Amino acid sequence: MPHNDPITLDSLPQPLHWHGTPGHAELAPDGTLTMRVDQQCDWFIDPETGAVTHNAPALLMPVAAPCTLSALVDVDHAATYDAGVLAIRQSGTVWAKLCLELSPQGQVMVVSVVTRGTSDDCNALPVDGHQAYLRIAKLDRAYAFHYSADGQWWHMIRYFDLGDAPDVQIGFLSQSPTGDGCTARFREITYRAGKLAELRTGV
């Protein structure tokens, strides 16, 4: 698949387009999206130094109304902070991401980052293995991140807002801030229009 082509999934209401320099992506017949990123790619604005890293290619689609986007994220973790990511982007300095990430201690963890000028980085919980279900919920003004071990029972990771911009982009990326590259697979990609009914229980 040419790197700069949009990617169309039957489960999504519109194609995914590249943000930034187009990266490496493949779409399997079963709807699995595989993304590989090269070395030292990330989205992060360091709150101590202000250093900006925003070079991980992402596949995004615009959304305006409330909705949810979920996937079973499966990552070939090798280096610290390697991750498969569900992302929300408003601008280069306003965005959020929900990651299945390898910690400095060698644990696979659910990690969230909310960026409004600088990044607020929070480790949520460790998980067994190298895969987990992650979900973004867009509400009227706010957002929520959820995690699930089985795709049925969801646990809230974060509840936040990004300001008053109604139109944002959501989608997927792979990151490898310290390593030589990372491959992430996004399976069982599911989009649902409408507002999430129960924020805390995730249903």
What tens digit of pLDDT does each residue of 49-71 get? 999 999 999 999 999 999 999 99
Rounded Cα gap, residues 183 and 29, in angstroms? 18
Catalogue all structural domains in the chain, each as residue range(s) with its CATH number.
17-193 (2.60.120.200)
What is residue 200's predicted lDDT score, i.e. its pLDDT? Answer: 82
Listed in order, strand segments (DSSP E) in the chain are 17-19, 24-27, 33-38, 43-45, 52-54, 58-63, 67-75, 83-91, 94-102, 108-116, 118-126, 131-138, 142-148, 155-161, 168-175, 181-193
CA 66 vs. chain centroid, Å, equals 17
Burial of residue 50, with CB atoms counted within 10 A of its CB: 0-12 exposed, 13-18 middle, 19 or more buried: exposed
The DSSP bridge pattern shows strands 118-126 and 131-138 to be: unpaired
61 touches 41 (CB < 8 A): no
Q: Is the dihedral of CA 152, 194, 143, 71 positive or negative?
A: positive
| C-alpha separations of 153 from 120, 129, 146, 200 in Å | 26, 18, 10, 11
Query: In which residue are the tokens 């989205």 written?
Result: 43
Rounded Cα gap, residues 101 and 81, in angstroms? 5
What is residue 2's predicted lDDT score, i.e. its pLDDT? Answer: 40
149 touches 86 (CB < 8 A): no
**Closest among 27, 26, 34 to 186, alpha carbons compared:** 34
pLDDT in tens, 153-168: 999 999 999 988 777 9
Average pLDDT per 10 consecutive residues for the chain, totaling 203 residues = 78 95 94 95 96 96 96 98 98 96 97 97 96 96 96 95 87 97 98 92 75
Residues counted in the chain: 203
